[in-house]
Structure 1
């Protein structure tokens, strides 16, 4: 689209010439058409930013305007009407015209209106460009991945996006939980409202309630004015609660009220504040195990997990790794202006074979690191971090190739539990968290394998002799 081109459509040849002269003096490129039919043909060819059209012509301006509206042609329209037929101009504005001028024309006023219309068109173009960029970044089709287990998650996320259903995104650190949450928001009816992301684990526990729910003036020393919380800032939009499992129990109770009643209670306030938010939560923790241990409310868990989405770790979608490498490496090259950099085939093989415990985030960081530190445009194995250069798994590595003769799952489980307890000096709670199971489940499995110790450390840190290790 030409940003300064104007198409003038009028059956009065004298008026067309005068408008062309006036508008060209104002700095615009001007094309002329004698009626709506010719104007429509030129409109498709020239793609002007602005159309100025008379209403009464052999093929009327209303007909032209109707075509522009029905085909969603991205241009601004000003209509010209004779004095006394303003009703027709109003009808044109209802059809999408920006404004109207009456004959006889005041050319100074017309030029001012054209300036305003061009500013509007420029803003609309910027919004469309931004929307296109958002579609590129946060549309589901822009998310790299073709593994069946990953596509299943994307399909579920796309289907739930148009609805206000609460979503719980589950997955290891670095799997892209926030990217999925943003895609859900971007494809929802709330896409033009706020997306407020809150990292629940990053807020100090004594500040969680004031940060999330806000406070009233005088609620405590230093509360000199009313302060809206982060949840209130998301009103009308989407609230993304990252690492929701880190919320203290007191805050969980207040969050439950937001989900159930659509209102929040500020600290020190006497009346609740209504809020309209769509909640998408995420965690790498096993919330079901936390419910068993009493560290996460069961009623909140079920409120959050209306639609659970389990994002598979990168090691379970190995077929996606080469495509992810190419996409992330290209993005890093563009960001740092190193467009000639390339990865050797040996590097590609090592990157594709690595287990990536930190998932996509770790892969992205490694690619950026080797890009900026490489001594030449060709990145070789010598440029890789030490952990990727090792060809032999460490002695304590759990991720070995499966032996031909088979193995005992019971023995592996017993050894894993024993090593976890050894790692945490017999502390049952910490060992259970490390293994991502509840303490009750850990104790059950220790009894099953007959694992005991002379001194274990239960939840409260006290020692107990002869108790099953868990």
Structure 2
């Protein structure tokens, strides 16, 4: 037996009575980033399983004593979530098929290509982790980590929780950015709930949903007779939220003329209702949210620079759902339980093939889209788990986008300029055309990105 330690990736156990084969597989998988242990019999493998929590097993079929086929059967009963990849010669394919029926995840035939070995083991590890995650989510023994009503365990979300815990007690203005559907209002409510203003009002207004006149009246209030139908005096949201928090959602869509009045009010902490000569003092923490790239909007004179700096004392950027990994399943399971309870259906969770589809989809609508998909799936399913057949066609048939740069045929090869153009457009699509974020990903400043985009259009 030998063991290679100190590498990243999965823990893999290799079982083969041929030491040379064990060492060859160990070398290949170690270069892939896995930690590899090898043994020369099924009995030794069972001993190792009692000491180490492996992510996958690669085993030969024909071995003295307990065969690889018998090992598969034992593991199917003892560790059904542990994926097993069997190695077999061309002459023993029937045994490989039997091993699959006994519960093995996949098989490869000797002599095998190293790339095929790596891909097969990677997929086996992913499959095993997916099964483990789904079982853990269905068991629900541990509530998911979060902040307020936010849910997520990915590193990007843990970093966000840490940031929110440090800034919530502050009274500084916060700009919350992120694609549509990423949960910006949920974040704003969490900030309010963890602040010293938690016992005071939290009010949200969508700046894109109202005309300039109505939005001004909503924010500042109006005097009686200020305009047609203003039969009574009305307190604006800035006064209604006094002592608490006001969320200006879709701030990037606020009309320029109203931006001037809001800036003055925020600087002086005083407002004048529409049609009134009286100035009123207010004490409100301002949170703003937008899916637009406000830095670009400022440079293009579509948003006031002075207001931008006033609302952007601290900026929080929410990651898109596609960048949150297993959080997709965490949120999906949460929605399954929510909608199953509402509808009175006994839906417990998500079947593995459906879970793989959810993980492979790009989620342009983010959490809002996921919620709608799961609500639909729970309504449609006739089983105790959401299946692939319960998902919309766009998710069942989704294929990941790739940036194709040509094959081996010289006639298909592209210039470096064309490859660069395609990749820039790919990054822009991935970040919802947020030029500031795209520039960060590409490793260039915004001016360089603007210059390249301008050159494309000339």
Calculate the TM-score normalised by the size of structure 1: 0.58
In the TM superposition, what whole-angstrom CA distance separates every residue of 1:190-246 from its partner, at most 9, and x where no partner exists? 111110011111112332211221111232233222111122211111001111101
C-alpha distance in structure 1 between counterparts of 2:453 and 2:179, whole Å: 26
- Find the residue that maps to 1:355 and give its secondary structure: coil
CA contact (8 A) 2:403 2:422 kept: no
Partner of 1:148: 155
C-alpha distance in structure 2 between counterparts of 1:409 and 1:164, whole Å: 49
Q: Which among 213, 216, 234 is matched to residue 209 of structure 1? A: 216
CA contact (8 A) 1:293 1:440 kept: no
The answer on 1:309 being equivalent to 2:309 is no
Calculate the TM-score normalised by the size of structure 2: 0.59
The answer on 1:376 being equivalent to 2:374 is no
Partner of 2:298: 291
Q: Which runs of 5+ in 1 are unaligned?
A: 1-135, 420-430, 453-470
C-alpha distance in structure 2 between counterparts of 1:138 and 1:255, whole Å: 37
Deviation of the 1:413 alpha carbon: 5.2
Change (3 A) 1:334 1:147: same
| Counterparts of residues 37-116 of structure 1 (less than 5 Å) | none
Deviation of the 1:319 alpha carbon: 3.1
C-alpha distance in structure 2 between counterparts of 1:140 and 1:320, whole Å: 14
Deviation of the 1:385 alpha carbon: 0.2
Q: Mean alpha-carbon deviation: is it higher for 381-390 or for 313-322?
A: 313-322
Q: Which among 169, 183, 197 is matched to residue 176 of structure 1? A: 183
Partner of 2:92: none
Change (3 A) 1:275 1:286: same
Q: Which among 301, 310, 321 is matched to residue 328 of structure 2? A: 321
C-alpha distance in structure 1 between counterparts of 2:289 and 2:245, whole Å: 13
Change (3 A) 1:219 1:181: same
Partner of 1:386: 393
The answer on 1:198 being equivalent to 2:196 is no
Q: Mean alpha-carbon deviation: is it higher for 315-324 or for 433-442?
A: 433-442
C-alpha distance in structure 2 between counterparts of 1:159 and 1:409, whole Å: 45
Q: Which among 235, 246, 250 is matched to residue 243 of structure 1? A: 250
CA contact (8 A) 2:403 2:423 kept: no
C-alpha distance in structure 2 between counterparts of 1:175 and 1:434, whole Å: 12
- Find the residue that maps to 1:282 and give its secondary structure: strand
Instruction: State the superposition RMSD in angstroms.
Output: 3.4
Q: Mean alpha-carbon deviation: is it higher for 333-342 or for 294-303?
A: 333-342
Q: Which runs of 5+ in 2 are unaligned?
A: 1-142, 437-445
CA contact (8 A) 2:333 2:350 kept: no
Partner of 2:193: 186
Partner of 1:165: 172
Partner of 2:433: 435
| Counterparts of residues 209-358 of structure 1 (less than 5 Å) | 209-358=216-365
- Find the residue that maps to 1:279 and give its secondary structure: strand
CA contact (8 A) 2:405 2:419 kept: no
Change (3 A) 1:146 1:252: same
Change (3 A) 1:238 1:408: farther
Deviation of the 1:309 alpha carbon: 0.3
C-alpha distance in structure 1 between counterparts of 2:447 and 2:368, whole Å: 33
Deviation of the 1:366 alpha carbon: 0.4
Deviation of the 1:446 alpha carbon: 4.2
Q: Mean alpha-carbon deviation: is it higher for 330-339 or for 249-258?
A: 330-339
CA contact (8 A) 2:146 2:153 kept: no
- Find the residue that maps to 2:287 and give its secondary structure: strand
